[in-house]
Amino acid sequence: MNPPPLICVSTSVTVDKYPERAYVNAAYLNAIQQAGGVPLPLPPQLEPSARAELLKHVHGVLLTGGGDVDPARFGEPPHPATAEVSPARDSLEIDLTRWALENRVPLLAICRGIQVLNVALGGSLHQDIPSEPGSPLDHSQAGLQGNARSVTAHQVKVQDGSRLAGILGALEVDVNSFHHQAIKRLGRGLKDVAWAPDSIIEGVELGDDARFVLGVQWHPEELVGHDRAARNLFAALVRQARERASL
């Protein structure tokens, strides 16, 4: 029997704090393990040679949530609300995205991850949804206390016939929401396939069906305990990674 596939998981980093830390929410690790994969955190502090050595053994990539992408990456000055920018993390995740695309490594991008995927392919972002483009919908679930990350905030409609719809097993899903940035101009080769009620893009996939590349703006890792559609996303990533591992 083949060993479980290794899924590279990007990490968050502290910004302007001491001591410097690299960290990842346990929910991502738990969701991958529940689906049968082995998570492998990849922090930006690793030397390029160490990173290259690890990537020799990786079968899938998960881009995680976190701080904002540097607007300079898509040619804009920073909005006053832009925060927690880490040039080192941006560089790592954009390079990791391009590596996965070039090597046909399955990739799932979550929240910040969908934004990194879009920027890596030449797209741009709305830097602050409440002010640009403006929306009556609260995408940050502000004010919720306790176990708020597993509470859903709004519905997302998914395009019939899309790869994402097939994986989720639904054309409408209730999602949680913890972001203030979102896709504006789509990157090369990406298709928008899911939307919030205010038309903010909530899901993308690569037009090339031969490569498994999906991005969602919500946090399915926090919903796997009670939501089949969320579990299906991680199961699909691990399944694709297992197929790659068997090559």
**Annotated active-site residue in 202, 205, 221, 222:** 221
**Does 154 participate in catalysis according to the annotation?**
no
Whole-number Å distance between alpha carbons of 70 and 72: 5
**Annotated active-site residue in 8, 59, 93, 111:** 111
**Annotated active-site residue in 59, 93, 219, 222:** 219
In the DSSP assignment, the letter for residue 40 is: E
**Does 219 participate in catalysis according to the annotation?**
yes
Whole-number Å distance between alpha carbons of 149 and 134: 23
In the chain, alpha helices (H): 26-34, 48-55, 87-102, 112-120, 163-168, 228-245
- Tallying the residues shown for the chain, one arrives at 247
**Does 111 participate in catalysis according to the annotation?**
yes
Q: Are 39 and 64 in contact (CB under 8 A)?
A: no
Cβ-Cβ contacts under 8 Å for 116 (sequence gap 6 or more): 63, 69, 90, 93, 94, 97, 109
Active site residues: 111, 219, 221
